[in-house]
Each structure stands twice: as structure tokens, then as C-alpha cells.
Amino acid sequence: MAPLCAAVDWGTTNFRLWLLDAEGRVLAGRSSGEGMRACHPDRFGPVLEAHLKALDAPADLPVVVAGMAGARGGWREAPYRETPASLDGLYRDAVKVDGIARDVRILPGVCQRGKGREDVMRGEETQLAGAWAENRQSGLFCLPGTHSKWARAENGQLTGFTTFMTGELFALLSEHSILRDMVAAGEGDSASPAFRDAVGEMLEGGVLSAKLFSIRAASLLEGAAAPDAKAWLSGLLIGAEIAAVRRDLAVGAEVYLIAGGVQARAYETALATAGIACRTLNGQDLVRLGLFSAARALWPERTT
Amino acid sequence: MAPLCAAVDWGTTNFRLWLLDAEGRVLAGRSSGEGMRACHPDRFGPVLEAHLKALDAPADLPVVVAGMAGARGGWREAPYRETPASLDGLYRDAVKVDGIARDVRILPGVCQRGKGREDVMRGEETQLAGAWAENRQSGLFCLPGTHSKWARAENGQLTGFTTFMTGELFALLSEHSILRDMVAAGEGDSASPAFRDAVGEMLEGGVLSAKLFSIRAASLLEGAAAPDAKAWLSGLLIGAEIAAVRRDLAVGAEVYLIAGGVQARAYETALATAGIACRTLNGQDLVRLGLFSAARALWPERTT
């Protein structure tokens, strides 16, 4: 069957491409580490073409792209839409890449304005669009990562969101702080009681910059025995997120968690510790669904 | 006049020595960058003797030391006393350095135990002892730094304290995070409105890891114009401390701030923003007073 389009999730560190048919089924796929960070602005085109060629994609196959390729300093800047942003209307602000033969459209990110509430996302909005397109899901979505997002979507509108520097702080503290040696020795397993205890401390009103130092102090006072420092650090940072979000959460509310692997396990454990129900969704499926939904709207003539 | 003793504040990055007479007056002083970090364990003795020789100190002059020289991996470990710790009784747990001719005593640090409340200090307890010896001050003390301490002292007892990783987080975020370029361009002046605004946001319940990302987002949304990002970052971190401490503070309570220079100005501004009165004390004077108080107790025969 002939593909409808190629759908590309082009992030900071990863590149993923799917050939999709008119029903959104995956005909073929490719992935690599050629994220935005590894690509000069003039390399995006050749990288894309090489992947398409490897899949024998037609020369006139259109391509829809989400993620950091649309950032300033990426391939082409696709300016942010502002909240509230219609999730099935992202395609309307897609930017066409000029100067190339192929029809390539980059979906916009979403921003939030307001003093002290400024926030931005690129790529996550397409996952949320996928959740809306596929299941008409409304509610609070948690998208963990280097910069974890908590986003509220209601009836297909992304109404607001907050980014926490959780993953970046974890990396900074693990690699450059006085906690470095302690954390390096740990497993960081979210099944460890230390992880749940740390989440619990933050839920009870713990203050992050103080709790961080207590990792150091506990290690000094208890000798070398701190096998769980990595799990403790992870629990504090994730717990800080959940403690903040829980303030605004209705009792009994369910959270959609868009994550996989150990990250999903950690957030599921932390949410359970906070007594918050969650349903875990697959982020790669969602971004593909969001891209497919945009492609159908961009090229309606190809679906008939 | 013959000196009573030499008093040494030996920290992580600095060395300070005073020759004191029987009344605590400074007869002479020395300082250098030969902190614990620059000293192998076998270098402490020679460094101390070189400074004493430069001041023509008698060969039998006793020396009292506070700070990181007493840490594990320092000169000699002076084990922590536990809270509640008597501030004028620190000398009782001073450790005598063996294997040298001179009488050198290192004062202990203080620790706090209890799951999740573990904490340690070395050097600050001697400043608090100085405040007690000199002025019989009780109350809440703020000691800013790489690891900021907030300590409660009542009637000469150090009853509890909390360390915030404020200075270390500031350095990590300024040097290694996505905020690096923005912060590098800033002045970081606490007189800037951005500093007070950031403190205010934390006092109103702001969540640190989210507010940090908003610095990045604001810069993306407002172009290159973020001259105050450094002041904003500093305000968020100091504001997080004060927001945490204010929860347990009685209305109208006054805080003793042990700080100098730009650090004192920043905390004075932040405390004023929170409506907390403060009195600023000189940290070097206090550690010297604390050391003198210990010396009189260690060597009573020399004061008569």
C-alpha cells in the first residue's frame, strides 16, 4: 500500500520516522541519534532524505515533523502557539520548509505567557494531540523527562502547563555536586523503599534544597552506607513535582502518564505514594497518532 | 603583651589566624587561601607553624581551631556533637592533635540526627558560640553560604538547624545548566526588582524546579532581553530558603543574619521582602569570639 506521509518526531537527542498509510498504520520505521543537537541547520534536509531513501519512500511523499526541529536554531523555526491551544488545530500553524522540493511541514510548539508563568513545550503538544485524536482524553497529563511537563487538556484544548527541571537537576546533582560520589554508588531503583520515603518527605512539605543536603549529612553520619542515595535523590525530585501538582488536583482525579520503562515505573510508584491514580500511555504511539492526525488535516486529498 | 593563644578559623577554602590576648583583643592576624581543600592531611601542621612563625608566636603558644580542619579527611577528625549542643561547652569535645609539640585543639562540629532531618555543620557552631559568649543572643540565626544554615539557639543551646544547598545550586545552575548563558549575561544585583520579584514568587508558594524553567521560557519568549536572569535565579533560591523558614517563625520575630558584603545585602533584601526583621552580625568577629571563649575554658591558667 502507498504511504500517506512520513511522520517524524525530531527531538533534541533522537530522530524517529514512520511511513504511515491512510489509516495511520505503520508501514515502516527508522530511528537514530541524529537529534537536533547532532544536526547543524543545513543537515536536517540531508538526514531526512537519507532515512526516506533507506525506506524507498516516494520523492513526492509529504512529511510532517514535530519537536525541536522547529525550535529557533533548529531546521526552521515554527513559532509557538499560545495556550489555550487547540490540539487538533496545530497543523494550521505548521511551517513549510522552503527551498526544498519535498513538502515538509513542521508543527508548532506551544507557549504559555504571564509573568512568572512563562513556559514552552515542543513535541509534547503533539503527544497530547495524539491522545485527543485517538481517545478524546481530557485531564491532567504527566510527561516526565529532562524537563518534565504537567499539562491540562480539556475537550481538545491545551489550557495550561508547567515544566519542572526534574531530569536536568538530577543530572546536575549526580554529576557535579557534593552528592556525586554518593549517587554514583547507588542503583536508583524506584522499587527501593528510599525512593518512596523520599517522595513521602516531599509530599509532607519537604523543601528541596534542604532535603538535598540531608543526603550528604546522612552519608557523613552513617558512614559509607548510603546505597540508596540515587533512589533518594530521584524520589525527592519527582516528589517535588507531585507535591506541587497535587495542590491543584481534585480528590479522586486520575492522571495520564505518558512514559515508558524505568521512568514510567518511577512515576507510577511516586503517584501511588501520593494516592493518585494513573493510567500509563505510550509516548511514541501518541506522537505518531498526533502527527497522523495533523497529516490528515494537512493533506486531505491524500486520504481519499 | 603576651598572647593567650592563637585562634584559627580553618574552612574549606580559607585559613584565618589571630593572636589573642587574655581579654580577647587581636594582637596580630594572618589569612590565606590554604583551606582544607588546598591542604593534604600532613600539610596542616607545617602551614600552621609557618603562619605562627611569621607572627613571632612563642613555641609553646596553644592554638584553638574551628572548621573543616576537624572534618574526616581534614587534619584530625573532631567528631560531631549532637543537638541540642551547649555552645559554651564545645571546648569539652575539642580534639587534641597528637604527634606534635604544640598544644593544638580542634573544636567539634555539630550534627542533628533523625530520619530525613540529618544535618551537619562545622565552623558555624563556633560563630553561634561567639554570639552567645558576647551578647547572650537567642533566636533564629541565618548563616548564608554554599550550604546556607538556619540555626535556632536558645539560652546557649543549639537546638536544631537546617542546611539549604542554596549557594551550591546557584553555582551548578549558573555553570552547567540550560540557564548558563542567560545567567552569565546578568549582574545578579539584589537591588534589582527581578531579585525581589523572584523572592516574592517563592514566598507565594512557587515551586523551585518549575520556577527555574520559567527563567528559560521567559528568555525564549522575550528574545535575548533577560538582563536580570542572574538576580532572578538568586532570588528564587534565597526565596525558597526564606519561604521554608517563615512557616515556623513567630509573627514579629527577628532573625540574626551572620553575613557580609553582597551576600548580606541580598539576604537583608529578601528578608525585608518577607516582612522579617533582621540584625546583621559580622561572621569573622563571631568566630573569633567563639574561639576565644573556648580558649579561656581550655586554658584557664593562662588568663590569670
* Residue among B116, B201, B209 minimizing CB distance to A240: B209
CB contact under 8 A, B119 and A214: yes
Chain B's closest residue to A176, CA to CA, is B172
pLDDT band at A248 (very low <50, low <70, confident <90, very high): confident
Q: Among partner residues B113, B209, B244, which is closest to A169 by beta-carbon distance?
A: B209
* pLDDT tens digit at each of 304 positions of chain B: 789 999 999 999 999 999 999 999 999 999 999 998 888 889 999 999 999 999 999 999 999 999 999 999 899 999 999 999 999 999 999 999 999 999 999 999 999 998 878 999 999 999 999 999 999 989 999 999 999 999 999 999 999 999 999 999 999 999 999 999 888 877 778 989 999 999 999 999 999 999 999 989 988 888 655 668 899 999 999 999 999 999 888 888 899 999 999 999 999 999 999 999 999 999 999 999 999 999 999 999 998 7
Yes or no, beta carbons of B244 and A218 under 8 Å apart = no
Distances in Å between the alpha carbon of A271 and those of A194, A199, A287, B17?
15, 9, 23, 53
- DSSP-assigned letter for residue B192: S
Does B178 contact A at CB distance below 8 Å? yes
Residue A204's Cα: distance from chain center in Å?
Answer: 27
Report the pLDDT value the prediction gives residue B223, as an integer from 0 to 100. 67
The pLDDT value given to residue B2: 86
Q: Is A176 on the interface with B (CB under 8 A)?
A: yes
Q: Where are the domains of chain B?
A: 5-135
pLDDT(A187) > 80: no
Structurally, what CATH architecture does the domain formed by A5-135 represent?
Answer: 2-Layer Sandwich (3.30)
> Which candidate, B193, B248, B95, B292, places its Cα nearest to that of B201?
B193
Strand pairing class (B157-164; B85-86): antiparallel
Residue of A nearest to B173 (CA): A172
Residue B228: the pLDDT is: 85
Using CB atoms, pick whichever of B162, B201, B210 lies closest to residue A163: B210
Find the residue in B nearest to A211 (Cα): B116
List CB contacts (< 8 A) between A206 and chain B. Answer: 116
- Residue A227 banded pLDDT, cuts 50, 70, 90: low
Is A210's CB within 8 Å of B169's CB?
no
Chain-chain contact of B217 with A119 (C-beta, under 8 angstroms): yes
pLDDT tens per residue, range A52-111: 999 999 999 999 999 999 999 899 999 999 999 999 999 999 999 999 999 999 999 999
pLDDT band at A181 (very low <50, low <70, confident <90, very high): confident
Span A131-151, pLDDT tens digits: 999 999 899 999 999 999 999
Contacts of A151 in chain B (CB under 8 A): none
B181–chain A Cβ distance below 8 A for any pair? no
Decide if A220 touches B, using CB distance below 8 A.
yes
- How much of chain A, in percent, has pLDDT values that exceed 90? 82
Chains A, B: CB contacts under 8 A, how many?
127
- Interface subset of B 12-71, CB within 8 angstroms of A: none
CB–CB contact A116 B210 (8 Å)? no
Q: Which residues from chain A sit within 8 angstroms of residue B201, using beta carbons?
A: 116
Q: Is A224 part of the contact surface with chain B (CB cutoff 8 Å)?
A: no
Q: B124 in contact with A at a CB cutoff of 8 Å?
A: no
A211 touches chain B (CB under 8 A): yes
Whether A241 and B209 lie within 8 Å, measured CB to CB: yes
B contacts of A212 (beta carbons < 8 Å):
165, 169
How many other CB atoms sit within 10 Å of the CB of residue A57?
Answer: 21
Select the residue of B111, B209, B214 nearest A208 (Cβ to Cβ).
B209
Q: Do A209 and B169 touch (CB under 8 A)?
A: yes
Which is higher by pLDDT, B84 or A228?
A: B84
pLDDT at A224 over 60: no
Query: Which three cell numbers, joined as nine digits, stand for A76?
Result: 526552521
Is B136 an 8 Å CB contact of chain A? no
Q: Which of B113, B165, B212 sits opposite A165 (nearest CB)?
A: B212
SS (H, E, C) chain A: CCCCEEEEEECCCCEEEEEECCCCCEEEEEEECCCHHHCCHHHHHHHHHHHHHHCCCCCCCCEEEEEHHHCCCCCCCCCCEECCEEHHHHHHHCEECCCCCCCEEECCCEEECCCCCCEEECCHHHHHHHHHHHHCCCEEEEECCCCEEEEEEECCEEEEEEEECHHHHHHHHHHHCCCHHHHHCCCCCCCCHHHHHHHHHHHCCCCHHHHHHHHHHHHHHCCCCCCCHHHHHHHHHHHHHHHHHHCCCCCCCEEEEECCHHHHHHHHHHHHHCCCEEEEECHHHHHHHHHHHHHHHHCHHHHC
CB-nearest partner of B213 from A165, A210, A222: A165
At residue A188, the pLDDT reads 78
Interface contact B190, partner A, CB < 8 A: no
What share of chain A in percent tops pLDDT 70? 98
Q: Is B164 on the interface with A (CB under 8 A)?
A: yes
For position B68, what pLDDT does the model report? 95
- A206/B208 Cβ within 8 A: no
Chain A closest-CA separation from residue B163 CA (Å): 5
Q: Do A201 and B80 touch (CB under 8 A)?
A: no
B221 touches chain A (CB under 8 A): yes
Q: What is the pTM of this model?
A: 0.92
